[in-house]
Amino acid sequence: MLLDIADSQLVLIDFQLQLKPAIHDGEFVWQRALALAQSAQHLQVPVWGTEQNPSALGPSSPEIKQRCTRVLSKMHFSAVEEGLGEWLRPPAQAPKGNARSLPRHLQKNQEENAPASIVLAGCETHVCLMQTALNLLEDEFDVWIVTDACGSRSERDRDAALDRLAGAGAELVTTEMVLFEWLRTAEHPEFKQILSWIKALP
């Protein structure tokens, strides 16, 4: 199964400046998160961010934060515990007008039509990202973990989290896999722009 851009939302977990120096290969991870964010924004994929305890850990990196539609401040490690699910799948709204007079496809509620493929990247992989991802899987979202845009202080913790997430049903992908699956063809009007960002990655 390929990732469908029309069904995608991007969530960037805790890309906060004070965390970056502690993350193994932090610059590598941040550059991939930025490529995802700018590409998603360019392709009109919704982008959401989170910040863990920002009063202690500070704000998100500005270049990432500015590409997010909204940023959720949280104290729980799982962003779902703080309401992320409601952002990703807004509560159903009653159809306007006389429901019986509407075509069947317009009678479906908003929840059924919300993009359900959640592309996740973030820090730390074994704490906030993993707990958020597991909760999203429980809520029946399709979860895609961008492995090269995820970081922890140690490789062992990151790798253990990725193994656990794969076992729980998450799809493990890379930044380039996501971007090329969103594009699907070299004839996409944004192909050259996205390709230039990919080529600039370290």
Q: How does pLDDT run across 100-115, given as a tens digit for each residue? A: 555 544 444 444 556 6
pTM: 0.88
- Residue bearing tokens 């490789």: 155
73: number of Cβ within 10 Å:
15
> Could you report the per-residue pLDDT of 20-59, keeping only the tens digit for each?
999 999 999 999 999 999 999 999 999 999 999 999 999 9
Compute the distance between CA of residue 26 and CA of residue 166 in angstroms, rounded to an integer.
23
Instruction: Compute the CA torsion angle 69, 75, 81, 83 (nearest 10 deg).
Output: -30
Q: Break the chain into its structural domains and give their ranges.
A: 13-87+112-199
Domain 13-87+112-199 has CATH 3.40.50.850: yes
Where are the extended beta strands (E) located within 53-168?
70-74, 117-123, 142-151
Contact 131, 82 (CB under 8 A): no
